[in-house]
């Protein structure tokens, strides 16, 4: 596992960041067409491998290769703390964020084991030295400079020499931030978006929803802009994820998103550009109640549904072997001509 250093500023203003979010490269349609042509001659009925075929075309279109590769798979976890934890929205203390970063470093977390299985490099980035954001019921979560620095750190964390980027997070209280941001971007109240997070009971979920509503009311006049909403209601680790997703798009790297928090972190890019997340796939639908609705608003169809609610890129890592299987079928299967198998009449 690697711990990535913080970056120098790339985005000097919200206007600069906005421009980068709307000016995006398209996929390589020639690569996806070449992949489709090969799929058409393989020894199987057309379309019989379903989404596996779609995944290979997606990989190729964003890698710009008729024969995609998964030799360099990287998992990046952004960790951050949230001032709103002081409002009692999590049953866990904020100190657990730093403790889990240490656990990642010691190879002791679930994601470490899943990264080994996925044959992926794991990097963990403690954002803002794990200082908490402001309590967003009282003030914007981040100042504009702090938000831009966090997006920049995420952008700079993406190695251009990557075949597939898997993103995840760690941060006590971040499902509250994710729910608030989702509500600001797509409408609704705290009750529509608040869930159990890391283990709240029914009373805890109701309290969490009320806290979200307080934040939404306080910042109602400044969240029409998706970037301002992310700055006001998000977190350092969420801003880092958004920066990484943006960098991957500019560098033509396909991305596997993790669960609810990761999806919410990327959602401003979808609001700024309807095609802003076409280089991403949603690895799984988490057990967090609102994730299904959020995925629908974002136009993302999850690959897996395993009842996960861990975060830390666990679902993204689990989806990597699925992509490897899809690619193995595409590259390893014989054609009808090579195998001497009669084609459909």
Is 53 part of the annotated catalytic residue set? no
List Cβ neighbours of 271 (8 Å cut-off, separation of 6 or more): 185, 226
Question: In sequence order, what are the residues at sequence separation of 6 or more whose Cβ sits closer than 8 angstroms to the Cβ of residue 56?
Answer: 35, 39, 68, 326, 327, 329, 330
Q: What is the 3-state secondary structure (H, E, C) of 261-329?
A: HHHHHHHHHHHHCCCCCCCEEECECCCCCCHHHHHHHHCCCCCECCCCCCCCCHHHHHHHHHHHHHHHH
> Which ranges in 79-225 belong to alpha helices (H)?
95-105, 110-118, 144-156, 174-186, 190-193, 202-218
Tell me the two tokens of residue 295: 């995925």
Q: Residue 263: which of 177, 147, 155, 148 has the closest Cα?
A: 177
- Residue found by looking up tokens 């963990």 in the block: 124
Q: Is 237 exposed, middle or buried (0-12, 13-18, 19+ CB in 10 A)?
A: buried
Per the residue annotation, which of 71, 237, 312, 343 is the catalytic one? 312
Active site residues: 312
């Amino acid at each position: 596992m690697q711990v990535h250093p913080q970056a120098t500023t790339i985005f000097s203003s919200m206007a600069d960041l906005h421009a980068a979010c709307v000016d995006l490269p398209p996929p390589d349609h020639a690569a996806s067409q070449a992949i489709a042509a090969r799929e058409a001659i393989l020894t199987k009925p057309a379309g019989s491998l379903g989404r596996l075929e779609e995944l290979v075309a997606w990989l190729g279109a964003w890698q710009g290769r008729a024969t995609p590769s998964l030799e360099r798979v990287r998992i990046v976890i952004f960790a951050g703390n949230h001032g709103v934890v002081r409002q009692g929205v999590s049953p866990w203390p904020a100190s657990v964020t730093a403790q889990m970063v240490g656990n990642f470093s010691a190879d002791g977390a679930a994601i470490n084991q899943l990264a080994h299985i996925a044959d992926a490099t794991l990097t963990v980035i403690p954002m803002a030295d794990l200082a908490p954001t402001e309590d967003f019921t009282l003030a914007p979560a981040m100042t504009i400079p702090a938000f831009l620095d966090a997006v920049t750190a995420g952008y700079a964390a993406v190695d251009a020499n990557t075949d597939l980027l898997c993103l995840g997070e760690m941060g006590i209280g971040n499902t509250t931030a994710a729910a608030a941001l989702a509500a600001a971007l797509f409408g609704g109240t705290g009750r529509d978006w608040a869930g159990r997070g890391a283990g709240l009971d029914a009373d805890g979920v109701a309290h969490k929803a009320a806290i979200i509503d307080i934040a939404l009311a306080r910042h109602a006049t400044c969240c029409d802009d998706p970037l301002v909403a992310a700055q006001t209601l998000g977190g350092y680790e969420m801003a880092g994820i958004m920066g990484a997703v943006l960098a991957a798009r500019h560098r033509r790297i396909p991305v596997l998103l993790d669960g609810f928090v990761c999806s919410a972190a990327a959602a401003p890019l979808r609001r700024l550009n309807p095609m802003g997340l076409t280089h991403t796939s949603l690895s799984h639908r988490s057990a967090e109640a609102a994730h299904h609705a959020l995925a629908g608003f974002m136009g993302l169809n999850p690959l897996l549904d395993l009842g996960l609610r861990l975060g830390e890129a666990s679902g993204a890592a689990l989806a990597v072997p699925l992509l490897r299987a899809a690619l193995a079928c595409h590259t390893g299967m014989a054609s009808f001509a090579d195998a001497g198998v009669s084609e459909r009449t």
